[in-house]
Structure 1
Amino acid sequence: MPEWGALRDREGPRAAYRWTWRPERRVLAVARNVTSVTRLLDVLPVAAADPRVDVVFTVDRGSAFDLGLAEFLADIGATVWPWRRAVRSRAFDLAVSASVNAGLRRIRAPLVTLSHGAGYNRLVPSSTGDGFSSAGLSRHELTHRGRVIPAVLGLSHPEQLERLRRSCPAAVERAVVVGDPCFDRIRVSLPRRDAFRRRLGVRDGRRLVVVNSTWGGRGTLAAALELPRRLVAELPADEYRVALILHPNIWYWHDPFQVRAVLADALDSGLRLLPPREGWRAALIAADVVIGDHGSTSFYGAALDRPTLLASPGAAEQIDPGSPTGALLRALPALSPGEDLRAAVERVRAAHTPGRHTAITGRTLGAPGESARLLRREFYRLMRLPEPETEALVRPVPEPEAETGDRPRAFLVDALLRADPGDGPAGTVTLRRFPVSPSAGGRPGAPPGAFLLALAEAGLRHLNGSPVLLRDDPEAETPAARWLDETLADHPGCLLAGAALDTRRLLLRHADGRELSTVAYRGTGGALEPALVIAAVYAWLREGRPPTGLRHGLRVRAGGTEGSVFVTPPRG
């Protein structure tokens, strides 16, 4: 890890003339892993924005999940002092840590410790030294030889004070309710929900299902590693988007390469994967449904009044049963093993009532909107520095930068056709598309009569098994007519092939040689996706209906997308 502070002496006799502005106080930010830094970045701005305050980081080594920490600190441009230098120095007026352990006693500055999640809830006997204290509130972590280590123990709600009184009475006088800075940032970001949804591809009436997993053997992925892949395969692509949030400890124990490799099929089928540092809060704000476990992400989702499903049956085993998180786990509806996922998502949405869990989550998220003010008050009191006259601001979270894989190149399509014998449009076809991953041949439990539609760049397995093939690139070099001839010759199982001519027109050719030309429009203006156009025409033709019946148009519906397809009579 680059420790630039060791190379740049800010206090030496020649340092004075190098400052552009001269700080009056210095804060030591104690990092332990990526998770702890994300919480520090929520709270440090209340002091770091003050030119009178200088912030230096150090790393309290010992976390099993410290992979990625050096890169994170380098990316934010932090000055990092070696731990040994930091704990020996008397240059600091305040230290802030989002974790607590007896090793912090060595810091020679008033120490503020905070939770790095939604309150204090986990039972971690290896850290607490007992089986009943919540991590962060135990005597083993908070004291050394009878002396309380932090000058201020930040609590998010007075409820935690009662549990602290049982687990470490000596620390009660150091406890201060400062609210939840993470959730305050979520709150002030709520007006940006529409922008967040657009960044995650949630358009045209789609709903966003956000899956999250904490680390270890009781998290969502430990219980159901296939859940993200199943969700993108079983939820209609025109009605849903699926995003995945993984605890940073998953990323940095298994390593990012392995995480992406394990999720590759789901990513290629449309899964949105949020990065480990930021983006998860924006995804929660954007969500319509949350599926998760005992981690803080699910707690915050429920606090946002999002319908929330519990996917990990063993989640409660690692949680203090007397904590609000323990109460929430007992109240959340659970995902049954083998349950149809679309039915489960629709079930939890239909059963949800606004404010259902507010009484529980409110017992963790105290002093709403006040965390910046309360934390700044404590920081400046300990630094013995007058507070700035400006308001302590809570900053909104940034827009999400989710990653995904290659676009889906094959779909199972379920088509419901209703013909209209009148003089207007020939009828209405309602389409539901289910992405098929490159390694899968189909989907268990696919609707009867569903057909496979493959794009030109799909794998040979899908090209050979699909009755409908589409080249949706209108700028492809091979002329459309030639591509259609070659495709039908190379893939005898193909019954209808199509090539895009521009954003509105497709040239289609049936296996019997009939050639059709289509023009499609969206009801809201613009163009219908070519895959929807060819799927609609195939749904009409496979019932033995003549293409001439579509000269007055066929209405197409897929999720929130609506449009019309017009077909010219075959040549000759």
Structure 2
Amino acid sequence: MLLAFRSAVALNRLLDVLPVFGGDPRIDRWFTQVPGSRFGLDALAALDRSGARVMDFEQARHERFDLILSTSPKGALTSLSGRVRALLPHGAGFNKAFGTEGSPSLPSGLDPAFLLSEGEPWADLHGLGHHEQLARLTEYCPPAAARAVVVGDPTLDRMRESTGRRETYRERLGVGDRTLLAVLTTHGGESLLARRHGLPLELALHLPVDDYRVALVVHPNEVSERGPHNLAEQLRPALQAGLLLPSSAQEWASVLVAADAVLTDHGSTALYAAALGRTVVLDGYDGGSELIPGSPMARLLAVAPRFTGVAALPDLLRDGPGPDPAEFAAAAFAHPGRALPLLRAELYRLLGLAPPRTPLTPELLPDPAPARSPAPALAVRAEVDGRRVRVERFPVATELPVHHRSARHGAAGLAEQRSAEVLWRHPGTGRWTAAGWAAHVLDELPGCRVAAALLSPERCLLVHRRHGPFALRVRPHRAAGRVRRIDPAAAVSAVYAWLVARPDSAGDLPLELDCTVGPVTVRLELGPAGPGEWDVEF
């Protein structure tokens, strides 16, 4: 068997299909890269890491294979010789037309210029994701449609099978109780990243870090064209502000499983998010020429709420858009959960072999790479209402008005520590007592107003330059069998804001405050510090 691919995205689709042949010693697997695409470099690197056997394309042209699988009809594919040749789903339907190749007005993937060789279909099997795609293939290329079968989408089946690992993915991404917003950008000049390069940074700087995490999902072709290192450098300010940048191989699918909502352009990745029931918000796509009217993606975007700015986004997501996005995704994906068995039956029938009797289940998606550690310095907004305090934290580069700055001592840069009114630290090497460390910090950094030793997730020593030491207890919120905590550094910021607003109440101890950080409200207990806080080795 030869798996022929032109780009990284085409290769990833082939890898989703490989379980069809799992455990069959009669199948010998070879890969080859079909020339003609400028998006293919990353694919070869991925194969090298996997240990797959790769055959040079020129050598492959002189071989005859029992089966050739591909997910793209373009390039020199027709020069390969195989007893059985199959074109499999490349993505979520046929939603775009490109004016630079083939027949400019026809949907990419349905163009007879690529599907036919000397007037005859090159493939013996066209595996399609939905009957709507079969109808359109019949319209544009009837000879190919005669060999088409609707099998569903193996990538979506893999994503659905992986929804049981959603919490694991969210833990790896450092999401917790926050809303995970995935920003989806396709490739080319009409993509979100090309039109609105500054949007990821804008989102990262203006959405509270305890309420949201933002992940940018970039089309593999765009990653290949820009280069992973170059792309990361172009996005460096946003990455420093906490933006997640998952790999374009399989992590994008894990991120969609973990996500709560997506902000998208006209790329069909949003259909996968819609099929999973995620909220879909459109970043205006006006005046573009690629999206095909009446396609499933066009119909989805016609009803999706419009992104009008970062300030309006929380209310937009909270209110919930009208129509169920999954209803529109249903026009792109048929036979849910059955793609691999249907494909196996068709391919083995064409090969004249009895298929393995082992059951077929999609391979679970891999864990995303763990998120980087939280930013060591933050800008803090605080609203004090009696004994209720609401805290919102942002990257230090935000342009929003803030109440104060908070930094992790020993982790933030010197300038960030000097400008922070609140400095905090987790337990270290035990070279200090908590009180000794706090005194050292207040002496070393005269701009600091509060030094806080975070002794545990629930217990802190908080030393205020004017009002003296306090013991702070951060009680978790317990309800319906769930335990929800806030970052104790955020609790320290809440106490500091309350002391600024109510300086004459600092002696009224003990007292309790209700502190809201992101979606969680907890009880803070502030009292006199004793040896149990002072003398802890820190």
Same fold (TM over 0.5): yes
For structure 1, the 5+ residue unaligned runs are 1-26, 420-426
Is 1:567 aligned to 2:519, yes or no? Answer: no
Q: Quick one: distance in 1 between partners of 2:263 and 2:108? A: 24
CA contact (8 A) 1:95 1:112 kept: yes
Cα distance, 1:417 vs structure 2:
2.6
Paired residue secondary structure (2:335): coil
Q: Quick one: distance in 2 between partners of 1:381 and 1:294? A: 37
Is 1:382 aligned to 2:354, yes or no? Answer: no
Could you report, residue by residue, the CA deviation over 1:304-338 in whole angstroms, capped at 9, with x for unpaired residues? Answer: 221111125248521222321222222222212xx
Determine which of 526, 547, 560 is the counterpart of 2:506. 547
Match of 1:68 in 2: 42
Q: Spell out the pairing of 1:444-483 with structure 2 (5 A cutoff).
A: 444-446=399-401, 450-456=403-409, 457-475=411-429, 477-483=431-437
Is 1:397 aligned to 2:364, yes or no? Answer: yes
Cα distance, 1:60 vs structure 2:
0.7
Determine which of 293, 312, 324 is the counterpart of 2:265. 293
The letter of the residue matching 2:165 is R
Could you report, residue by residue, the CA deviation over 1:190-230 in whole angstroms, capped at 9, with x for unpaired residues? Answer: 23322322222222x32211112112222222222222222
Cα distance, 1:570 vs structure 2:
9.8
Is 1:80 aligned to 2:54, yes or no? Answer: yes
Paired residue secondary structure (1:125): coil
The letter of the residue matching 1:566 is L
Is 1:214 aligned to 2:173, yes or no? Answer: no
Aligned length: 523
Q: Spell out the pairing of 1:4-15 with structure 2 (5 A cutoff).
A: none
The letter of the residue matching 1:344 is L
Q: Spell out the pairing of 1:18-29 with structure 2 (5 A cutoff).
A: 27-29=1-3
Is 1:175 aligned to 2:165, yes or no? Answer: no
The letter of the residue matching 1:564 is L
Q: Spell out the pairing of 1:73-472 with structure 2 (5 A cutoff).
A: 73-90=47-64, 92-101=65-74, 103-109=76-82, 110-128=84-102, 130-203=103-176, 205-314=177-286, 316-336=288-308, 339=309, 341-353=310-322, 356-391=324-359, 393-419=360-386, 427-436=387-396, 440=397, 443-446=398-401, 450-456=403-409, 457-472=411-426
Cα distance, 1:46 vs structure 2:
0.3
Q: Quick one: distance in 2 between partners of 1:550 and 1:136? A: 71
Q: Quick one: distance in 1 between partners of 2:89 and 2:395? A: 40
The letter of the residue matching 1:104 is L
Match of 1:23 in 2: none
Cα distance, 1:403 vs structure 2:
4.9
Match of 1:51 in 2: 25
Q: Quick one: distance in 2 between partners of 1:373 and 1:514? A: 69
Match of 1:39 in 2: 13
Gap change, CA 1:153 and 1:528, over 3 Å in 2 = closer
CA contact (8 A) 1:408 1:435 kept: yes
For structure 2, the 5+ residue unaligned runs are 532-538
**The 10-residue stretch of structure 1 (275-284 or 314-323) with the greater mean CA deviation from structure 2:** 314-323
The letter of the residue matching 2:148 is A
TM-score (normalised: structure 1): 0.85
Gap change, CA 1:501 and 1:103, over 3 Å in 2 = closer
Paired residue secondary structure (2:100): helix
CA contact (8 A) 1:548 1:567 kept: no
Match of 2:536 in 1: none
Q: Quick one: distance in 2 between partners of 1:476 and 1:298? A: 50
Q: Quick one: distance in 2 between partners of 1:159 and 1:219? A: 25
Report the identity percentage: 35
Cα distance, 1:538 vs structure 2:
0.6
Gap change, CA 1:111 and 1:127, over 3 Å in 2 = farther
Determine which of 484, 495, 502 is the counterpart of 2:438. 484
Gap change, CA 1:479 and 1:265, over 3 Å in 2 = farther
Q: Quick one: distance in 1 between partners of 2:485 and 2:106? A: 59
Paired residue secondary structure (1:80): coil
CA contact (8 A) 1:310 1:334 kept: yes
CA contact (8 A) 1:58 1:80 kept: yes
TM-score (normalised: structure 2): 0.90
Q: Quick one: distance in 2 between partners of 1:402 and 1:210? A: 15
Cα distance, 1:346 vs structure 2:
2.9
Match of 1:558 in 2: 517
Q: Quick one: distance in 1 between partners of 2:238 and 2:432? A: 31
**The 10-residue stretch of structure 1 (292-301 or 403-412) with the greater mean CA deviation from structure 2:** 403-412
The letter of the residue matching 1:250 is E
CA contact (8 A) 2:255 2:368 kept: no
Cα distance, 1:244 vs structure 2:
2.2
Paired residue secondary structure (2:285): coil
Paired residue secondary structure (1:44): helix
CA contact (8 A) 1:233 1:434 kept: yes
Cα distance, 1:64 vs structure 2:
0.4
CA contact (8 A) 2:185 2:192 kept: yes
CA contact (8 A) 2:458 2:476 kept: no
RMSD (Å) for aligned C-alpha atoms: 2.5
Gap change, CA 1:503 and 1:155, over 3 Å in 2 = closer
Cα distance, 1:405 vs structure 2:
3.9
**The 10-residue stretch of structure 1 (482-491 or 303-312) with the greater mean CA deviation from structure 2:** 482-491
- Return structure 1 stretches of 4+ with deviation > 6 angstroms: none
Could you report, residue by residue, the CA deviation over 1:148-187 in whole angstroms, capped at 9, with x for unpaired residues? Answer: 2111122211212332233223322122212111111122
Cα distance, 1:529 vs structure 2:
3.2
Q: Quick one: distance in 1 between partners of 2:68 and 2:486? A: 57
